[in-house]
């Protein structure tokens, strides 16, 4: 019985987490499109690339949730916002973003346009860095308020 409850609770969290994450991240990806070379609103390939990126971003949000769950031993750890919980999200978001952006830039997966502001010491775009530090905070807040009414 406890296993069934645990599985149901995880699903109650992960489905809204993925849905809200994909929605917010896709919008962000589309808005930042001009900051990347060879991305155009008129190109279906650009829209698809943004959707793929938003799916990856949703996986990152799930990884953040899993990390918090393991640290706090609580599936609903994100419902009570604290400085330390916010710091966990920001550290994970920053670390993953710096790694992914540097890897993608070095391997030619994407390139910044002249419009992208870059963090000097990190050599990564400030917009994707803000994306993976600010949006997860919003996503966890929305999931806590709207996606978990039964808890």
pLDDT of 1 = 44
pLDDT of 4 = 58
**Cβ–Cβ contacts within 10 Å for residue 135, how many?**
21
Q: What is the CA radius of gyration of the chain?
A: 17
pLDDT of 3 = 62
DSSP three-state, residue 98: helix
Q: 43: which 2 tokens?
A: 């190109």
Per-residue pLDDT of the chain (151 residues; tens, 9 = 90+): 456 556 888 888 999 999 999 999 999 999 999 999 989 888 999 999 999 999 999 999 999 999 999 999 999 999 998 999 999 999 999 999 999 999 999 999 999 999 999 999 999 999 999 999 999 999 999 999 975 555 4
In angstroms, the CA 27 to CA 135 distance is: 11
pLDDT of 94 = 95
Nearest to 61 by CA among 142, 137, 150: 137
In angstroms, the CA 128 to CA 43 distance is: 21
Spatial CB neighbours of 28, under 8 Å, sequence gap ≥ 6? 131, 135
**Cβ–Cβ contacts within 10 Å for residue 43, how many?**
12
């Amino acid at each position: 019985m406890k296993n069934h409850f645990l599985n149901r609770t995880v699903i109650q969290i992960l489905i809204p987490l993925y849905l809200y994450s994909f929605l917010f991240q896709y919008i962000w990806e589309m808005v930042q499109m001009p900051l990347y070379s060879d991305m155009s609103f008129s190109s279906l390939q650009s829209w698809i690339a943004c959707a793929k990126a938003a799916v990856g971003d949703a996986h990152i949000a799930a990884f953040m949730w899993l990390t918090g769950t393991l640290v706090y031993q609580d599936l609903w750890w994100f419902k009570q916002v604290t400085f330390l919980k916010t710091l966990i999200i920001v550290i994970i978001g920053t670390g993953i973003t710096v790694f992914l952006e540097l890897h993608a830039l070095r391997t030619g997966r994407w390139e910044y346009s002249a419009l992208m502001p870059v963090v000097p010491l990190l050599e990564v775009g400030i917009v994707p860095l803000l994306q993976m530090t600010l949006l997860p905070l919003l996503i966890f807040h929305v999931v806590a308020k709207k996606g978990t009414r039964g808890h």
